[in-house]
Amino acid sequence: MSKKYNYNYVFLFYDVDEKRCNKVFKVCKKYLNHYQKSVFRGEISPSKLLKLKKDLDKIIDKDYDYVSVIKLLNQSFFEEEHIGKYDLQDGEMFI
Amino acid sequence: MGEAVRYIMSEGELKRKDNSICFRKGGRNYYIPIEGIKEIYCLNEVSINTKLLDFLASNGIVLHFFNYYGNYSGTFFPREKYISGRITVKQANKYSYERLKVAKAIVKGIAINVVEVLYSYYKNGNHEIKNNIDIIRYEITKALDPLTNIKEVLSIEGAIWTQFYDALRRILNKDFEFLKRVKRPPDNPVNAMISLGNSILYTKTITQIYHTHLNQSISFLHEPSDGRFSLALDLSEVFKPIIVFKTILKLVNKKMIKVDKHFDKALKYCIMNEDGKQIFIKELNQRLEETFKHPKLKRKVSYNTAIKLDALKLVKYVLEDQAFVPFNVKELV
């Protein structure tokens, strides 16, 4: 996809040193919903995404850590399948 | 996005944690991302502390509280960001001199939207309600123009709703018997849904007005009294038929909600149970997020935003004397 799109939904995976794990976790949960151990996802506006990336930039060590963001247009652009027990996830409208 | 809402349906503790919000329930933490959230609804017993309130205030998040029966109990909103003495003075000025004009515009808006909702049923073959439509369209609306007294305008509004409820009785599925509107407490399933829907719409309107410079307590149709935000009552009125009642009609006629499954009839009156509330609020929220092409703005706008646009129209009216025409479905076509 070209850069013209406005991405409004992201998946974020991180693989960082133990020392920085918690810091990255704290930043991510401000913007996105916790999905699995080191996976976040959720709706986010392009401007908020820039802010999130800037926040992460300050924390991680670029020579060692790796954070990947998969950007999607919106929630209807993928299909999800569950195997195993599906708990109430963060990010649902009702808690 | 940007209008994100969370509904807290279970008991627990809401607190600030690591510059974000955390809801603790049954030993598990549920994180609510602070960025992008606008409103939080507490529909059950939730403990909060001042640390959280301060944090919400600095992020401009509005917190609504409802009691166990689903009645609205109050709103916490951050220190007013948008204060304008100029607008408050002018708004009060308009109230003293041109109250009737605005009140009439609102009542006319209700009539248009009510007819629009009913007409779609008439078109699809329900001819019983033709009488009600005609009465609203020709008799009631005509009677509005010459009025000079706010009490009479209010009685016209009452007459419109009476006709609407009468028609509703003929549209609704047989399981849902609906004779007349009863409040505090609602006495049957439909009244319970109307009450819950109206109070949620009311809170949504409060949030939208909060983001404008208007004064929440100076209203035009309703009497500006103490203790409630009567302007929100005014502005939410025209949205009731298209948001609350359309949701109810959809849920009932598509059998998504059932009397014996989703209502608690233990006491004399009916209240919705947890499941029922969840289904209802989800559908209502979907309706609010639904978008349509705005004829003037030439872009897609959700009904939620339309409420805010109505508030902004009122600002324009107050400041620049531009005629206030509340939102109506007809203007879309």
> Given CB atoms, is A93 within the 8 Å cutoff of chain B?
yes
∠ CA B126-B132-B135, nearest 5°, is 145
C-alpha gyration radius of chain A: 14
Angle, helix B85-123 to helix B230-237, in steps of 10 degrees: 30
Q: Please name the member of B19, B35, B282 whose beta carbon is closest to the beta carbon of A48.
A: B35
> B8 contacts in A (CB within 8 Å)?
94-95
Cα–Cα distance measured from residue A40 to residue A82, given in angstroms and rounded to the nearest whole number:
16
**B245 pLDDT more than 60:** yes
Residue of A nearest to B4 (CA): A93
Q: Is residue A2 included in any domain, yes or no? A: no
When mean pLDDT is compared across B19-23, B36-40, B53-57, B123-127, the lowest value belongs to B123-127
Average pLDDT score over chain B: 80
| Residue A44 forms part of a structural domain | yes
Tokens (6 digits) for B218: 């100076």
Q: How close are the terminal C-alpha atoms of chain A, in Å?
A: 35
pLDDT at B201 over 50: yes
H or E segment to which residue A68 belongs: strand A66-72
CB A40, CB A91: distance < 8 Å:
no
Confidence of residue B333 (pLDDT cuts 50, 70, 90): very low
**If you average pLDDT over residues B32-37, what whole number do you get?**
82
Least confident range from A2-6, B149-153, B161-165: namely A2-6
Give the pairing of strands B12-17 and B20-25: antiparallel
Contact criterion met (CB below 8 Å) for B245 and B284: no
Q: For the domain that residue A55 is a member of, what is the CATH number? A: 3.30.70.240
Residue B1 has which token pair?
């996005």
Is the pLDDT confidence value at B1 over 60?
A: no
Interface residues from chain B to A (CB-CB < 8 Å): 1-2, 4-10, 12, 18-20, 23, 25, 30-36, 278, 281-282, 285
Residue A49 lies in a domain: yes
To the question of whether residue A15 is assigned a binding role by annotation, the answer is yes
pLDDT of residue B172: 76
Query: What angle, rounded to 10 degrees, do the helices at B303-320 and B189-210 form?
Result: 50
Residue A26 resides in a domain: yes
Residue B79 banded pLDDT, cuts 50, 70, 90: confident
Q: Are A31 and A42 in contact (CB under 8 A)?
A: yes
CA-closest candidate to residue B199, choices B70, B333, B10: B70
A93 to B30: CB separation less than 8 angstroms, yes or no: no
Per-residue model confidence (pLDDT) at position A2? 59
Residue B268: predicted pLDDT = 54
Question: B142 pLDDT exceeds 80?
Answer: no
A78 inside domain? no
Location of structure tokens 């670029």? A62
Instruction: List the beta strands (DSSP E) in chain B.
Output: 4-8, 12-17, 20-25, 28-32, 37-42, 46-47, 62-66, 72-76, 263-264, 271-272, 291-294, 299-302
Domain presence at residue A86: no
Please state whether beta strands B299-302 and B291-294 pair in parallel, antiparallel, or not at all (unpaired): antiparallel
Residue A22 reports pLDDT greater than 70: yes
Give the count of domains, chain A: 1
Cβ-defined contact of A26 to B2 (cutoff 8 Å): no
Instruction: Give the pLDDT band (50/70/90) at residue A12.
Output: very high
Q: Would A67 be classed as within a structural domain?
A: yes
Tokens 């009916």, residue located: B270
How wide is the angle at C-alpha A32 spanned by C-alphas A30 and A35, nearest 5°? 125
How close does chain A come to B10, measured CA to CA in Å? 7
* B257 SS3 class: coil
Section B308-330 average pLDDT: 82
The C-alpha atoms of residue B232 and residue B206 are separated, in whole angstroms, by 6
Whole-angstrom Cα distance, residue B231 to residue B305?
17
Contact state of A90 with B30 under an 8 Å Cβ cutoff: yes
Residues in chain A: 95
Q: H or E segment at A9?
A: strand A9-15
pLDDT at B179 over 70: no
Please tell me the distance from the alpha carbon of residue B301 to that of residue B295, in angstroms, as a whole number: 10
Domains recognised in chain B with CATH numbers: 4-66 (3.100.10.20), 85-332 (1.20.120.920)
Q: Check whether A1 has a pLDDT greater than 60.
A: no
Taking CB atoms within 8 Å and a gap of at least 24, the contacts of B320-323 are: B323/B105
DSSP state of B27: T
Q: Which helix (H) or strand (E) holds B106?
A: helix B85-123
pLDDT-above-90 percentage for chain A: 7
Residues B45, B18: Cα–Cα separation, whole Å: 23
**In terms of residue numbers, what domain contains A39?**
9-72
Q: Does residue A15 form part of some domain?
A: yes
Q: Which residue of B has its CA nearest to A24?
A: B18
DSSP run (H or E) holding B196 = helix B189-210
- The minimum CA-CA distance between B45 and chain A, rounded to whole Å, is 12
> In which band, very low, low, confident or very high, does the pLDDT at B227 lie, cut at 50, 70 and 90?
low
Mean pLDDT, residues A23-42 taken together: 86
The DSSP secondary structure of A41-90, one letter per residue, reads EEE--HHHHHHHHHHHHHHS-TTT-EEEEEEES-GGG------S--PPPT
Q: Known binder of ligand: residue B222?
A: yes
Provide the pLDDT confidence category of residue A68 given band limits of 50, 70 and 90: very high
